[in-house]
Structures are given as C-alpha cells and as structure tokens.
Chains A and B, each alone.
Chain A
Amino acid sequence: MPAAWHETVADALAQGWRFAGLYATRDGGSPCIRAALTREGEPLVLSCLADERRTASIVDIVPAAAWDEREAHDLHGWAFTGHEPLRPLVDHHAPTSRWTAPLEGRDAHQVAVGPIHAGIIESGHFRFSVVGERVLNLDLRLFYKHRALEAAAEGVGHVQAIAHAQRACAADAVTNAVAYAHACESALGLWPSEQLRCSRTLLLELERLWNHLNDIAAICAGVGFAPGNMLFAAFKERAQQLNAALAGHRFLFDSVRIGGGDLAIAPDDAAGAREELADLRHAIGRGWRELAFAGSLQERLEGVGVTAREQVERMGGVGPVARAAGVPIDARTTSPRLTYEGFAPAMLEQPGGDVAARMEIRGAELSATFDLLDGLLDGPLQAAGCTRVEDASPAVGTGVVESPRGQTLCAVELDGGRIARMHLRTGSYANWPLLALACRDELLPDFPLINKSFELCYACVDR
C-alpha cells in the first residue's frame, strides 16, 4: 500500500493535478489518508487506507505536503515512511532540539520570541538562529491557539458546523465559510443559483478589500512609516463600516449559510454602497500615490525578504505571495460556483518576490476588487438558494476559494446530516513555510516587516 500511494499521487501530478491539501480521516472504519488535488477548478480526492496508520511520504514529490504530514502524525498518529526527520508541528511536548535546526559555530545563537508578542498580535513562537543580526534560519512553532475546531465539528449537524469553519479566523471568515459551504453543497449535490453566486462573490471581495487595506497599513507600520499606517488603517475602517452597513457585521460574520444566502441589498442601498466605494477608491488612489513617492518607505521595501519564483512553485505558495513572485495562480480563475467569469489575476511587470512586490501586488489587486464590487452592486441583491443537480454527490465534498491570503481548501465528509470529518487548509497554512525561508540571510530587525508583508493568520492555521 505505501508504495502504491506514492505512485498514485505521482501519476496524478503527471496528469497536471495540483496538490491542495492532505489530511487523516477514517473510511469505512479504517484509518485513511486523503489528498485533495485540483485541475482547472475540478477536484480530485485520492485515498490511502492503512490499518497500521503508516504509508509512504509524498514530500519528495510534493514538498507542500510537509506540514500536512506532520499534522497527521501529531494529531492522528500516522507515520510517513521517507519523511525524515518528521519534526513535530502541533505537538508541543517534544524537546526543542526535535523541532529546530541544529546550530553550531562561533557566535551562532538562538533568539526565542513569543508566544506573546510586543503588540496587538496573535500568539505564536519563533526560534531565530542568528549570527549577530543576520538570520541563518527560522523555526516556527505555532498551534498555541489550537482549539481542535475540526474535532469539535465532528458529530455536529452540517448546517451548524459552518461556525467552526468561519470562526477559525476572523480575517478570512467569509472565505472559510464559503469554502465550507461549497464543500457541503458539492457533497449534497446542490448548485448555487446565479443570485447566490453573486452575493457570495460580493462578500468575498468585501473581505479582500478590508484585508488588503489592513495589510498595506501593516507594511507601513513594519518600517515605522506612521502616516501611511494611519491612513490605510482609516481606509480599512471605512471598508469595515461598509461591511456593517451591507451585511450587518464588520467582519461579515454569519453572512454565509449552507444551501442559500440571506444577503439582500435594496436598489438605493446598492447605489449608496457604489458611491461610497467610488469615493473610497479615489481617496485610496491619492494615498497610494503618496506612498509611491515616499522614499523613506519605498527604499526600505526593495530587495527585502525575497521569495523566488522557483521557491514558490516548489513549496506550493499561494495568494499575493505567489503572484508577487510571478506565479499567476489564483483560485478565482477557476471558481464556477462564484461569478468570476473572465477574471485574470493582476500581475506585476517585475515580480521581484520581495516586500516591495508584495506591497505592489496588493495595490494592483485592490483595483480589480473595486471593479468587481462595482459590477456586483449594479442592481439589487436578493436572498437566494441552490438548485439540486443529479450527477453530483461525492463521498468527500471539497470547496476551493481564494482568500485574501491565497487558496483555501475545505473538505467535508458527511454521515447523514452530520459532520464525520471537516478539514480546513487555508492560504496562510500554505505560506508559513515560505515566510520562514524568506527570512534567511535577512536582518533580525527586518522580521516584523517581512512578516507583515506576508500577513499570515495564526488562528486558522492553529484551528
């Protein structure tokens, strides 16, 4: 079985399927590993049953699966032949030497940071191996916020369990909820109506708007450029106030449900929202131009924290991080359950993969988001539902949605009306290993800046 598993995954990759996530579950009572892959928006789920919970590792052909395998080991007791050393990821009981790279040499030492950080920041622990101020290596220890949301969702009705996906993370709450809804609806053989596709796309782009504004503000803060930070924080506030006006919540919580949507926007409100968005877009454009000419900001961003294109492709990077390095992947281009017809992701002329490029790509993506929002609000939105389709109802429902941080996968296995297994793999989960690599050979004091340019969540990774 282990050898066959490796071969099965290798065959799928050879046919153009792209890895989207791997998780441990049970199939007919037997322990099982599943790998989810995508190709042109189509899902493929591969399964490997093994009573002894041991199979071949696929990290040699899919380096992106490294964290997935480590998680399956720590939480579900799986062993992966060929994954050496299999370092602890979720397990916090292992000694430090088991999850950090060995360090020796004159003046080399470790700097430990966290789990509590010096600002209003999520909790997580970083081990920097440094010489002087130069970072040799960064080892991450997250999962301080592990609430076992996936385990808690098991046995819960699939209609209620959307809360477990959504509240995994406030920043990507809509993405996580839509990915979960898509997964459930595909398992139930439901297809969203045109109205529902529009209202979910609207919610997703509203989420991207406030997140990108937040991230631009955060990058300004990362170099201590207070006027830029304050201004974009104020733009973010305006975007969140618009969220509250349109959907009743500043983070758009509880705006997504299974099999339908209750978002209704009257013609006058839609017109008002368009006006506010046009005004906000104009103000942001002025602010953005100022940032472009602020030398003390721009010169601190260039060439810092480079993530090369090859690295992104090898490690399975996603979202603005991947696109800033010139990799044009965006789940929005292959989302038939949403309304992104003809969408092409914004790309940079010179995708340097540095902090400057990650800043620049967010500015470019804001423009596309404003265009999408303007089109979606060109008329009223009504509560909407799904239609039943005959040919669908796979054993494993999957949903793949582009969050502000990149491709998010949700896999759902139903047992009647209840959740047998729910797995969420967010854009942040895919990109954390790349952040660690981007810090190598950089200065330790630049870590906050590099970190902010990725702006990854801890909450949805830890779950």
Chain B
Amino acid sequence: MYVLLRQLHDLRRAIDLPPPSARGSLALRHVDAGSCNGCEHELNAVAGPFYDLAQYGLNVVASPRHADVLLVTGPVTTRMAQALQRAYDAMPAPRLVAALGDCALGCNVLGAARELAGPLEDLLPVSVRIPGCPPTPQVIAEHLLAAMTGQPVAS
C-alpha cells in the first residue's frame, strides 16, 4: 500500500497544474446520449488523478437532483431522448446544459436520421460547448472552469 500511495504522490508532483484560485463549485451529471464512449473516457480522466478537477470544486454527482450542470455526450439517439429529458426535468434550477464533444454539438455526426433525435441544441438550452472528437481532458477542464467562473475560455 505504501508503494501505491508513494507512486501516486510522485505523480501528482510531476504534473504542472494551475493553482485552484476560483471560488465556488459545480456539480456535474453526465448523460450518454449515444456517444462512442470516447467522451466518457476523457471525462473520467478529468475526474482522475492527472487532472483532478475536484480540487477546483468540480464534482461528478450520481443524481440529476444534485446537479448544476447536465453534461451530454453523443448525437442524442431517439432511444435516449426521453431519458435525457427526464434527467433534465429532475434537475433543480438554475441549471446549465453542456454539450460535450462534437457529436453533441451536431458536428460530423454519423448515423441514420431516423435513429437520431438531436442535435442537442434543438432539445435543451445548451450554454456550454466543448468541442473535440473527443475533447481532451485539458479542453474539458478549461471549458468547465470557464463556465464556473464566468470567464471566457483561455485557449
């Protein structure tokens, strides 16, 4: 166990992260509406030891009832549209919707029109747009921090 913790400790020191200066926090609820699972892997990485968004007050929560932000991935399939709407309806106001990845943004979507209910913009009021296929953890972190602080995205 000591070796495990030691390795993790060294890892944290090896990474150059900006200091968590901003106040406040955001609770994030993720819904996969038909992604290829790439955005999920990168979102997991953001919550993992390298990027560690928790130190900035950004946490992934288990229920939409606890969430400030609905993070949606995928082009929104017809089969996920209802579940997505219900997750949104379950959230307390004020609430934000974030489109995570190119599919959710309606870019270069693959699939047959009859199986797609999206783009997300037509279904829910999107206010945070995180581009990429999939967006890298760095890009996800930058956009979520910008949404929290109200500042424009740095890069």
CA distance in complex: A168, B35 (Å): 9
- Say yes or no: B50 contacts A145, CB within 8 Å: no
- Asked if A224 is at the interface of the complex by the 8 Å CB criterion, the answer is no
Given contacts A145-B80, A231-B4, A290-B3, whether A120 and B40 have CB atoms under 8 Å apart is yes
Given contacts A170-B41, A253-B133, whether A234 and B49 have CB atoms under 8 Å apart is yes
- Asked if B48 is at the interface of the complex by the 8 Å CB criterion, the answer is yes
Residue of B with least CB distance to A143: B79
Stretch of A16-24, A148-156, A339-347 at the chain-chain interface: A148-156
Given contacts A167-B36, A459-B37, whether A123 and B112 have CB atoms under 8 Å apart is no
Interchain Cβ contacts under 8 Å between A and B, 12 examples: A116-B31, A120-B44, A120-B47, A122-B37, A123-B83, A145-B77, A147-B115, A167-B36, A170-B37, A233-B50, A253-B133, A459-B35
- Say yes or no: A146 contacts B48, CB within 8 Å: no
Q: Which residues of chain B are within 8 angstroms of A251 by Cβ–Cβ distance?
A: 38, 41, 134
B40 to chain A, nearest CB (A): 5
- Say yes or no: B49 contacts A121, CB within 8 Å: no
Please tell me which one of the listed residues A120, A143, A250, A462 contacts residue B136 in the complex, with CB atoms under 8 A apart.
A250
- Asked if A237 is at the interface of the complex by the 8 Å CB criterion, the answer is yes
Given contacts A147-B34, A234-B11, whether A121 and B40 have CB atoms under 8 Å apart is yes
Given contacts A286-B7, A459-B35, whether A119 and B112 have CB atoms under 8 Å apart is no
- Asked if B18 is at the interface of the complex by the 8 Å CB criterion, the answer is no
Interface residues of A in 330-365 (CB under 8 A from B): none
Q: Which residues of chain A are within 8 angstroms of B134 by Cβ–Cβ distance?
A: 170, 251
- Asked if B1 is at the interface of the complex by the 8 Å CB criterion, the answer is yes
- Say yes or no: A120 contacts B60, CB within 8 Å: yes
A386 to chain B, nearest CB (A): 25
Q: Which residues of chain B are within 8 angstroms of A457 by Cβ–Cβ distance?
A: 37
Q: Mark B23-62, 1 if CB is under 8 A from A, else 0.
A: 0000000111111111011111101111000000000101
- Asked if B93 is at the interface of the complex by the 8 Å CB criterion, the answer is no
Interface residues of A in 107-140 (CB under 8 A from B): 115-116, 118-123
Q: Which residues of chain B are within 8 angstroms of A92 by Cβ–Cβ distance?
A: 79
Q: Mark A235-267, 1 if CB is under 8 A from B, else 0.
A: 011001000000000110100000000000000
Please tell me which one of the listed residues A118, A168, A228, A230 contacts residue B62 in the complex, with CB atoms under 8 A apart.
A118
Residue of B with least CB distance to A170: B38
B68 to chain A, nearest CB (A): 16
- Asked if A182 is at the interface of the complex by the 8 Å CB criterion, the answer is no
A350 to chain B, nearest CB (A): 25
Please tell me which one of the listed residues A121, A152, A234, A250 contacts residue B8 in the complex, with CB atoms under 8 A apart.
A234
CA distance in complex: A143, B37 (Å): 14
- Asked if A458 is at the interface of the complex by the 8 Å CB criterion, the answer is yes
CA distance in complex: A92, B77 (Å): 13
- Asked if A163 is at the interface of the complex by the 8 Å CB criterion, the answer is yes
Q: Which residues of chain B are within 8 angstroms of A147 by Cβ–Cβ distance?
A: 34, 75, 77, 110-112, 115-116
A149 to chain B, nearest CB (A): 6
Interface size on A, residues (CB 8 A): 50
Given contacts A169-B36, A233-B48, whether A290 and B41 have CB atoms under 8 Å apart is no
- Asked if A61 is at the interface of the complex by the 8 Å CB criterion, the answer is no
A311 to chain B, nearest CB (A): 27
A295 to chain B, nearest CB (A): 10
- Asked if A227 is at the interface of the complex by the 8 Å CB criterion, the answer is yes
CA distance in complex: A462, B79 (Å): 11
Interface size on B, residues (CB 8 A): 45
- Asked if B13 is at the interface of the complex by the 8 Å CB criterion, the answer is no
| A149, A230, A251, A290 — most chain B CB neighbours (10 Å) | A230
- Asked if B87 is at the interface of the complex by the 8 Å CB criterion, the answer is yes
CA distance in complex: A283, B48 (Å): 18
CA distance in complex: A264, B112 (Å): 35
Residue of A with least CB distance to B137: A237
Interface residues of A in 158-175 (CB under 8 A from B): 163-164, 167-171, 173
- Say yes or no: B41 contacts A152, CB within 8 Å: no
- Say yes or no: A146 contacts B115, CB within 8 Å: yes
CA distance in complex: A391, B126 (Å): 55
Q: Which residues of chain B are within 8 angstroms of A164 by Cβ–Cβ distance?
A: 110
Q: Which residues of chain B are within 8 angstroms of A283 by Cβ–Cβ distance?
A: 7
- Asked if A214 is at the interface of the complex by the 8 Å CB criterion, the answer is yes
CA distance in complex: A149, B3 (Å): 46
- Say yes or no: B80 contacts A123, CB within 8 Å: yes
Q: Which residues of chain A are within 8 angstroms of B7 by Cβ–Cβ distance?
A: 231, 283, 286-287
Q: Which residues of chain A are within 8 angstroms of B74 by Cβ–Cβ distance?
A: 145
Which 4 A-B residue pairings sit nearest by Cβ, starting from the closest? Answer: A170-B38, A147-B111, A148-B112, A118-B62
- Asked if A370 is at the interface of the complex by the 8 Å CB criterion, the answer is no
- Asked if B17 is at the interface of the complex by the 8 Å CB criterion, the answer is no
- Asked if B154 is at the interface of the complex by the 8 Å CB criterion, the answer is no
Q: Which residues of chain B are within 8 angstroms of A214 by Cβ–Cβ distance?
A: 41
Interface residues of A in 289-325 (CB under 8 A from B): 289-291, 294
Q: Mark A357-396, 1 if CB is under 8 A from B, else 0.
A: 0000000000000000000000000000000000000000
Residue of A with least CB distance to B44: A120
